[in-house]
Amino acid sequence: MRTQLLGVLLLALLAAGQQPQPASQASKAAPASQKMLTFKASANLVIVNVGARDRSGKLIEGLKAEDFQILEDEKPQKISVFEFQRLTQEYLPPPPPLAAAPAPVLPAFAQSMQITPSLPGQIRFRDRRLMVLLFDFTSMQPDDQIRAQKAAEKFLDQQMTTSDAVSIMAVSNSVQVLQDFTTDRDQLRRIIRAFSIGEGSDLADEAAVGDEETEADTGAAFTADEAEFNIFNTDRKLAALETAVKMLQSLPEKKALVYFSSGVGRTGVENDSQLRATINAAVRSNVSFYPIDARGLVVEAPGGNANVGSPRGTGLFTGGAQSKRRERFHSQQETLTTLASDTGGKAMLDNNDLSMGIVQAQEDIGSYYILGYYSSNSALDGRFRRIRVKLLPNATAKLDYRSGYYASKEWRGFTAGDKERQLQEAILLGDPVTDLPMALEVNYFRLARDRYFVPLAVKIPGSEIETIKKRGGQTAEFDFIGQVRDARGHIVSSVRDGITVKLGEATASQLAHRHLQYDSAFTLPPGEYMLKFLARENTIGKIGTFETKFSVPDITAEASYLRTSSVVWANQRESLSNAIGAAEKSRKLIAGHPLVQEGQKLIPSITRVFRRNQDLYVYLEVYDPASGPSDKAPSIAASLSFYRGNSRAFQSEAVQVKQMLASRPHAVAVQMRVPLERLTPGRYTCQVNVVDQIGQKFAFQRAPLVVLP
C-alpha cells in the first residue's frame, strides 16, 4: 500500500513573506575569439600502505617496488608510487618550561585552521608518524577535560618521539582544527595548556539518563525518556568523527586518531547508521581510531555518586537502578570499542593513565611501505574492488594492508534507468549512505480509535545542496522515498515524491546558512514500526538514507491517565504559500494536517536547538477529555516548566482551552508560545504540564532543549 498525504519542502529559518532581491546582471559572454581550449584528464590513483614482517615479526627493510605485486580484482596493476616510511621510537629530550601562560582557547569559538591536503601521489610527511589528538568537549565533564589535558601534556613532555607529527582538533559546536600536523612540540604544548576547561561541558550527557529507575529524584513530576535527544546527541558525536577523518582523506600516510571522550552512549539500532558510516569513512581515509575514556577507572556507590540525587522508585532497593547504570556505562564504552576494533585501532578503557592510550597508537604505527597505482579499471560504477598484495621474494612474509576500496561514481553519465536502479539499490542496502546528511522526526496524532496520523519531518542542511542557474534563479531537484515496515518486516505504508526547488537569487545566496525541511505523513494503526527514508538531490547525485524504529501507542487502551499525542517543539511558523517545492497540493489533505492552521505550517525543530531571540512553539492534542455537565465543554490547563539541573529556571503562564476541534470532536488542541529571551544560554529540560480540570487527570511530557545566545 502506498500512502502519500503531503509532500512539501520549506526553507526553514527564513522569515515569512521575505521577498527576494533583484538578481545581479549576468556578465556578458566572452567573444568566440577569446575562448580557450581546455584539456581534461582523470586517473584513479589508489594508495595502499603495506606493513611487511617476517615469521618472527621483524620488519623487512630494503624492499623495492619490483619486489611487490598488486592485484585489483585479480588483475595485476603497475606500481607508480613507492615510498618507505622509516619510523623510530627515539624520544625527544624533556622540553623547557613555557615562557608565559598562553591565552585561553575557547573551543566553541576558536578560529579553525585547516588540515592541508596533499596532491595525488604527494608524500608530504616522509618518515613521520601522523597522529591526531581530538578532544570531544561536549561529552566530557570538567574533571574529565582536566584528565585529558594532563594526559596530552604528559605525552608531549615525556613520550613524543622524533618521528611524530601531531595535529590537534576539538569538538564543541563543530569540529575545530586547532593545529595542523606539526613537529613543533612547543606550539602543541601551548595549545593544550590553553584549553578553557569547562567549555562545552554543559552539553555533556552524563545526566541524561531517561529511565524511571535510574533518574535522580528532584521532586519534579515523572519524566518520559530522553531517547530521541540522545539519538541526536550520539549521531552528532559520530558525525563529528566522520567529519574529522574526511579531513585526513587526501593524506596517503597512515593516520591514528586519538579520541578523548567520556563514552558515546547508544539507544539501540537507531545509531547504527551513523556508526557504520563513521567506520566506513575512517577505513576509506586510512585512519584508525584510538578512543580514550577520559573518566578513567570508575567506581561508584550503588545509588550513584554524591553529586546526583537518589534514584526514583524502588530501583535502589531491588538493584535495578545500579544494574541499568552499569548497562548504560558499558554501552558507552562498547561504542568506543567498536570504533577501535573496526578500524584497526585499540580502545583505552578503565585506566587512569590516559597517556598510555596515546602511546598505544604511537607504537602501533611502525615503519611501512606506501604503494600507489593507477587503476586499470576506469569504470565509475561505485563497486567494491578487492586488493591483494604479494611479496615476490618472500612468500611467507606477513603483510598488513587494506583489503579493497569502493570506486567513485559519476552522476552525469547516469541514464534514467541507472538513476532509478540507484534508488532501488540504496533503499535496499543494509549499510547507510551518508553523502547527504539529514535529521528526522516522527510524531503521532489520533484520528480514530484505531487510526493515527503520523507526520514525518526531515531536515537537510542547505550547505549540502547543489543548485543550477535557470531563468534568473536557482533550481534543484530531489527524490524522496519513505518505507514503513511493521514488526514482521512487511511494508505497510510508503511515500515517493519528486520535488523541484525554485529559489530566487537572494534566497539562493542564503541557502548555505539555512536548511531545507521536507514534510510528509502516513496513516497507521497502533504498533511498532521501522522507517527507512531516502533523499537524493539530482544535481550531482548525492544520496542520504536514515533508518529508525518508532512506535505508535494505543492510547485508547489505558484510561488511568490523560491521553495526549506526541509533543511538537518548534521555533517557526511558515506560510504554505512560501513553500519552495511541493509534490501535491490537495486542500483536503492539507486541511487535515494537525500542524497546518489557516495556511500556516508549524515547522518542527528536529534538533531542538533554539536561540534566545526566538519563540518556542509547543503543540499537542488531548483526547477524550471530560466535559462539563451543563455546557458540555472541556477545561484543559497547560503550562511549560524549564529545568536546569535540579532547579526550575522558568515557569510559563497557564493556557486555558475550552473548545474541541471542529474536525475531530474527540480532541482538544493545546498551543503555547513562549519567548526564550528570559532564559540564559545552556541546556534545559522543558516539561509540558497538562491538566484536565474536570476529569481530574493530568499528563507530563518532557524534552531536552538547548538555548544558544
What would the pLDDT profile of 434-474 be if each residue is shown by its tens digit? 788 888 899 999 998 889 999 999 988 888 888 888 777 88
**Tens digit of pLDDT for each residue in 525-550?**
999 999 999 999 988 888 888 888 99
Where the chain has pLDDT below 70, the residues are: 1-43, 99-112, 173, 199-235, 266-273, 299-322, 324-325, 382, 408-409, 413, 431, 557-559, 580-591
Output Rg (C-alpha) for the chain, integer angstroms. 28
Q: What is the pLDDT of residue 310?
A: 60
- Residues whose CB is less than 8 angstroms from the CB of residue 334 and which lie 6 or more positions away in sequence, other chains included: 266
Q: Residue 161 and residue 610: Cα distance in Å, rounded?
A: 46
Average pLDDT score, the chain: 80
Q: Which long-range contacts (CB under 8 A, 24 or more apart) does 659-662 make?
A: 659/633, 659/634, 660/633, 660/634, 661/621
Whole-number pLDDT of residue 16 = 32
User: How many of the other CB atoms lie within 10 Å of CB of 628?
Assistant: 12
Q: Among all chains, which residue has been given the C-alpha cell 525554485?
A: 502
Dig out the grid coordinates for 478 from the structure.
530531489
> In the structure grid, which three cell numbers stand for residue 533, read together?
527514508
Give me the pLDDT at residue 173, please.
67
Phi and psi torsions of 335, nearest 5°: -65, -40
SS3 282: helix
Could you give the domains of the chain?
Answer: 1-14+46-86+367-557 (2.60.40.3880), 129-204+223-366 (3.40.50.410)
For residues 456 and 519, is the Cβ–Cβ distance under 8 A?
A: yes
**3-state helix vs strand vs coil in the chain, percent to 5:** 20, 35, 45
Question: How many CB atoms within 10 Å of residue 1?
Answer: 9
- DSSP annotation of 511 reads G
The per-residue pLDDT for range 376-421, each reduced to its tens digit, is: 888 877 677 889 999 987 777 888 887 887 776 677 767 787 788 7
Q: Which pairs count as long-range contacts for 385-389, CB under 8 Å and 24+ apart, including other chains? A: 385/72, 385/73, 386/72, 386/73, 386/74, 387/46, 387/48, 387/70, 387/71, 387/72, 388/70, 388/71, 388/74, 389/48, 389/50, 389/68, 389/69, 389/70, 389/71
Output the DSSP codes for 665-676. Answer: TTEEEEEEEEE-
User: For 165, phi and psi rounded to 5 degrees?
Assistant: -120, 125
CA 29 to mean position of chain CA atoms: 43
Give residue 47's region: left, alpha or beta (phi > 0; psi -120 to 50). Answer: beta
481-510 per-residue burial string, b: 16 or more CB within 10 A, e: under 16: bbbbbeeeeeebbbbbbebebebbeebbeb
Phi, psi of 708 (to 5 degrees): -100, 160
pLDDT at position 35 = 45
The greatest distance separating any two alpha carbons of the chain, rounded to the nearest whole angstrom, comes to 98
Element (H, E) at 334: helix 320-341
Cα–Cα distance for residue pair 615/652, rounded to 1 Å = 13
What is the reported pLDDT for 147?
92
| Residue given cell 497507521 in the structure block | 524
CA proximity to 388, closest of 58, 54, 77: 77
Q: What is the pLDDT of residue 645?
A: 79
Distances (CA, A) of 140 to 191, 198, 227: 18, 9, 19
Determine the Cα–Cα distance for residues 223 and 702; give it in Å rounded to an integer. 6
Give, as one character, the DSSP assignment of residue 381: B
- Bin 274: left if φ > 0, else alpha if -120 < ψ < 50, else beta: alpha
Closest CA to 98 of 180, 156, 162, 170: 156
Cell numbers for 299? 567506581
Q: Are 684 and 707 in contact (CB under 8 A)?
A: yes
Cβ(381)–Cβ(407) below 8 Å: yes
Q: What is the DSSP letter of 103?
A: P
Question: 283-316 pLDDT, tens per residue?
Answer: 878 899 999 998 888 766 666 665 555 665 565 6
> In this predicted structure, what is the pLDDT of residue 22?
36
